[in-house]
Amino acid sequence: MKKRVFGSVWCVLGLTALASTAYAQALPWEGRAYANVNLGMQVRGTDAVKSSQTFPIYDESGTITSTQNIDAGAPFFEVGGGIRIFGNFGIGVTYARLSTTGSSDVDASVPSPLFYDAPRSAKAKVDGLTHTEQAVHFHLVWLLPITDKVDLAVSGGPTAFKLTQGTVLAPTVSEVGAPYTSVMLTTTAAETTANRIGFNVGADLTYRFANNVGIGALVRYTGRTFALKPTGGAPLDVKVGGLQVGAGLRLRF
C-alpha cells in the first residue's frame, strides 16, 4: 500500500513541478467554467478485509474468522465540473462511482460438547458480497494553460464517501452428530452502508482539438478507512479510494 501511495504522490508532485516550470510561459485561464467526464481504473490500497469474533458454546469460547476478498482493481465512472473564481484559480466538484463484488472465506473453531479444549474446525464461503463506492470530490483547482490547446489542472480538497459493503453475519453452528468430530456452518450476509469524509489530490492534463472540446487524462489519489460495525456481524475496517487513473471528454466554456 505504501508503494502505491508514494507512487501516486510522486506522480502528482511531478505534474505540479511541471506546472510550476511552465508557469512563467503559461497563458491566463480565460474561460469561465469546465466540465469533465472520465472512465478509469482505481487501484485500492488493500484487497482483503479480515474480521474475527468469539461466541460462547459448551462453557467455552468458539472463534469465527472471516477473510473477505475485494477486487484490488475496479473501473469507475465520474462526471464533474467547476468555475473560475479569479486568475488561474477555481473551484469544482466531481461525482464518482464504482461497484464490484467479492467473496468471503469463513473459518470457525468450535469447542467439543464431549471434551474440553478439543475444538473442531469448519469452513464456509459466501459469494456475491457487494462493494460500492460513491464519492463527491470537492476541489480547489489551479489551472494553467500551457499552450492555446493544452492545459494542466492541479486540484485537491475533501471527499464525501458513501460505502455500501456486503458483510458476513455470525454463522449458525449445528452439530452433525456422533461422534461429534465435525460441525456445519450456515452463513448469511447483509449490506452495511456508511458515510465518511476523506480527501483527494490529483492532476488533469487536457488537449483541446476544437475550441471548447478536448480529451484529457487524470491521475488522482483519494481515500478513507471505514470502521464498520454491521448488526449481527463482526466489526471490520474497509478502505475506500486509492490511486485512480482515467481519461475522457473535456469541455471548456
Q: Could you read off the pLDDT of 126-177 as tens digits, one per residue?
A: 888 889 999 999 999 999 999 889 999 999 999 999 999 988 887 888 888 8
Could you tell me if residue 187 is inside a domain? yes
Could you tell me if residue 143 is inside a domain? no
Could you tell me if residue 62 is inside a domain? yes
Yes or no: say if 60 and 2 are a contact pair by the CB < 8 Å rule: no
pLDDT of residue 128: 85
Could you tell me if residue 52 is inside a domain? yes
Could you tell me if residue 46 is inside a domain? yes
Which pTM value belongs to this model? 0.82
Could you tell me if residue 192 is inside a domain? yes
Q: Which of 77, 123, 76 is nearest to 104 (CA)?
A: 123
How many distinct structural domains can be found in the chain?
A: 1
In angstroms, the CA 145 to CA 26 distance is: 6
pLDDT tens-digit profile of 63-74?
Answer: 888 888 777 788
Could you tell me if residue 74 is inside a domain? yes
Could you tell me if residue 213 is inside a domain? no
